[in-house]
């Protein structure tokens, strides 16, 4: 599909040692946007030369002021009415660019910012989603805040503006990086989060996020301690309960995790991500009918929540309904082929905890693997070539 040009839009990037990802990002997004601003925070791998070859607006700085300061430095250079702020390892499917252009053209005056549905992917196919604000109007009062979890959302809300869902899908395959790099990033985020807790002493979100990060590093006792304190201090915050649910699942407390996600879904019934996780815990507990109901409900709220559709396919795999499972998984692959990501390096590195990010069953092997397995088993059943299945692991036995 030929890409269009959106002259009203500036692409902003923050870069440090991104030579592996920067060329693709600039090749995909650069030709679409009217301008490009790149801020480098200390690259030594050739990223600076790559950046300079694509834009005249290239700035070098340090991370002394944190992520928000670096992002705001980029925003000061923007001359177009709209900003698209991407991580260099994020990419829109080609079909989304015309939708970006239409969104900008048709945006009501009070719509100052838009969120996207982002699919975060690892080398071994793990999937989880979030909704970061990536597209927003250029305005001197719209600036990033916070040391970590930086966003323009507080600034937009202070202006009385609307932050709306764009309906856009963004793939984030950057978690194929080596495990040492991912671990270092988690530790850096944890350090900043613990500093940020002092700035927001009455907000349970940041202790909950600290627990979430401890979980990803395998510090389960600290994770439970942090997230438990968070729900005690801020029991009406749905996202705090969701972080607590992730921690409890990692600590092998699935029934408690289910209760936490059910609380999150009750507090925010419009949020499909929480309802999907209710289904995941039911699936882990082999409560397949309850899982099906939760995934169907999540998809009714947000049809583009494709990992909920994957989870529906996994229910059929658990029931050994391989033809039906393969049909569902093929449909997901057709809608977003980026979810088929597999990187062999992820199969050979020692990584004890990435599976904990999955918003599917913990040891989900990736869309490509499950699709291939279900297609093989479906073909085997048609030709009466069957392989024994240990009854302990069959979904309905």
φ, ψ dihedrals at 388, nearest 5°: -65, 145
What's the whole-number mean pLDDT along residues 166-188? 91
Length of the chain counted residue by residue? 397
Mean per-residue pLDDT over the chain, rounded: 93
311 pLDDT more than 50: yes
386 pLDDT more than 70: no
* Predicted pLDDT of residue 396: 43
Please give the angle made by the CA atoms of 360, 366 and 369, to the nearest 5 degrees: 130
Other residues' Cβ atoms within 10 Å of the Cβ of residue 389: 12
Task: Supply the Cα-derived Rg of the chain in whole angstroms.
Answer: 22
Calpha distance 152→163 (Å, rounded): 10
Task: List Cα–Cα distances, 328 to 103, 128, 305, 379, in angstroms.
Answer: 30, 19, 13, 16
1 pLDDT more than 60: no
pLDDT tens digits along 192-249: 999 899 888 888 999 999 999 999 999 999 999 999 999 999 999 999 999 999 999 9
| 175 vs 35: which has the higher pLDDT | 35
The string of DSSP letters for 248-273 reads: HHHTT-HHHHHHHHHHHHHH-TT-HH
| Environment class of 161 (CB within 10 Å of its CB; exposed 0-12, middle 13-18, buried 19+) | buried
Residues of the chain above pLDDT 70, percent: 95
388 pLDDT more than 60: no
Other residues' Cβ atoms within 10 Å of the Cβ of residue 350: 5
Residues of the chain above pLDDT 90, percent: 82
The residue with tokens 């995941």 is 280
* Predicted pLDDT of residue 3: 67
């Amino acid at each position: 599909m030929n890409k269009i040009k959106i002259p009203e839009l500036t692409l902003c990037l923050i870069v440090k040692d991104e030579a592996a990802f920067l060329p693709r990002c600039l090749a995909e997004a650069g030709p679409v946007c009217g301008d490009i601003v790149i801020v480098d925070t200390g690259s030594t791998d050739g990223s600076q030369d790559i950046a300079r070859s694509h834009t005249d607006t290239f700035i070098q700085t340090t991370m002394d002021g944190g992520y928000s300061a670096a992002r705001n430095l980029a925003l000061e250079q923007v001359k177009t009415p709209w900003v698209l702020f991407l991580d260099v390892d994020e990419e829109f499917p080609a079909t989304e660019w015309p939708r970006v252009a239409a969104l900008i053209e048709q945006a009501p005056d009070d719509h100052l910012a838009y969120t996207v549905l982002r699919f975060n992917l690892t080398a071994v196919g793990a999937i989880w989603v979030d909704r970061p604000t990536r597209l927003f109007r250029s305005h001197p009062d719209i600036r990033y805040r916070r040391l970590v979890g930086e966003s323009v959302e507080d600034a937009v809300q202070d202006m009385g503006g609307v932050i709306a869902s764009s309906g856009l899908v963004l793939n984030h395959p950057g978690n194929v990086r080596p495990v040492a790099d991912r671990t270092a990033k988690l530790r850096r985020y944890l350090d900043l989060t613990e500093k940020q807790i002092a700035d927001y002493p009455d907000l349970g979100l940041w202790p909950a996020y600290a627990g979430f990060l401890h979980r990803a590093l395998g510090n389960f006792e600290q994770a439970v301690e942090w997230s438990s304190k968070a729900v005690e201090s801020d029991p009406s915050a749905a996202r705090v309960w969701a972080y607590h649910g992730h921690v409890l699942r990692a600590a092998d407390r699935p029934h408690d995790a289910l209760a936490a996600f059910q609380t999150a879904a009750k507090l925010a019934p419009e949020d499909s991500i929480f309802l999907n996780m209710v289904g995941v815990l039911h699936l882990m507990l082999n409560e397949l009918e309850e899982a099906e109901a939760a995934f169907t409900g999540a998809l009714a709220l947000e049809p583009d929540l494709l990992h909920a559709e994957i989870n529906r396919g996994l229910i059929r795999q658990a029931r050994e309904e391989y033809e039906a499972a393969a049909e569902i998984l093929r449909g997901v692959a057709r809608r977003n082929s980026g979810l088929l990501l597999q990187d062999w390096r992820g199969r050979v590195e020692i990584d004890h905890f990435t599976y904990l990010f999955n918003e599917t069953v913990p040891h989900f092997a990736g869309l490509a693997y499950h699709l291939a397995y279900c297609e093989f088993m479906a073909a085997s059943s048609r030709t009466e070539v069957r392989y024994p299945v240990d009854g302990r692991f069959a979904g309905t036995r």
